[in-house]
């Protein structure tokens, strides 16, 4: 029986207008549209929009906190970088100072060692000059004796006579006067 009613309803509407476009049902359609819209508006305004607003506010607060944290960390990083640069400059300055001190100390030690070596060399040089002067004086003192010996021998060989050292000394003494 239900099937026959459905078929009869189909035949009745087949010749008629599509129900939403039927002007006789406009009033009821508008009433249900207003009721449905009102219910959805109430649900949206009382439930969904406050929840979305809360979620957006939480996100906004979280983003603000993250930005503040980022700014704080950036400032800390900048301060750490500035401290690092300052410490690096101080380290370079200290290294330069230490290198300069070491260089000056090495120069002073080298100069002291050079002066010591020069003093030793000067002392040895003075000793050597003194020995040379002594040897020269001794040699010069013996030159006269050697010259007289050689002259005596030359005169003996050349003249064939006998000449003594005393004779030679008298002869040379008379020449020098």
- 15-68 confidence digits (pLDDT tens): 578 888 888 889 999 999 999 999 999 999 999 999 999 999 999 999 999 999
What per-residue confidence (pLDDT) applies to 8? 54
What per-residue confidence (pLDDT) applies to 137? 82
pTM of the model: 0.41
Ramachandran area for residue 22 (φ above 0: left; ψ -120 to 50: alpha; else beta): beta
Mean pLDDT of the chain: 85
Please provide the distance, in angstroms rounded to a whole number, between the alpha carbons at the two ends of the chain: 187
Find out whether 148 and 168 touch, Cβ atoms under 8 Å: yes
Query: Is a pLDDT exceeding 80 seen at residue 152?
Result: no
* Pick from 5-9, 107-111, 154-158: least confident: 5-9
- Calpha distance 37→33 (Å, rounded): 6
């Amino acid at each position: 029986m239900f099937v026959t009613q459905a078929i009869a309803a189909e035949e009745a509407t087949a010749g008629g207008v599509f129900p939403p476009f039927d002007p006789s049902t406009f009033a009821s359609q508008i009433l249900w549209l207003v009721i449905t819209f009102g219910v959805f508006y109430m649900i949206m305004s009382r439930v969904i929009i406050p929840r979305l607003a809360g979620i957006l506010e939480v996100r906004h607060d979280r983003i603000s906190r993250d930005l503040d944290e980022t700014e704080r960390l950036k400032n800390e990083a900048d301060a750490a970088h500035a401290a690092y640069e300052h410490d690096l400059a101080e380290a370079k300055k200290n290294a330069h100072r230490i290198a300069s001190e070491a260089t000056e100390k090495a120069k002073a030690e080298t100069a002291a060692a050079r002066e010591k070596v020069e003093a030793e060399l000067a002392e040895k040089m003075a000793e050597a000059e003194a020995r040379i002067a002594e040897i020269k004086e001794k040699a010069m003192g013996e030159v006269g004796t050697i010259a007289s010996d050689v002259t005596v021998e030359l005169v003996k060989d050349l003249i064939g006579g006998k000449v003594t050292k005393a004779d030679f000394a008298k002869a040379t003494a008379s020449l020098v006067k």
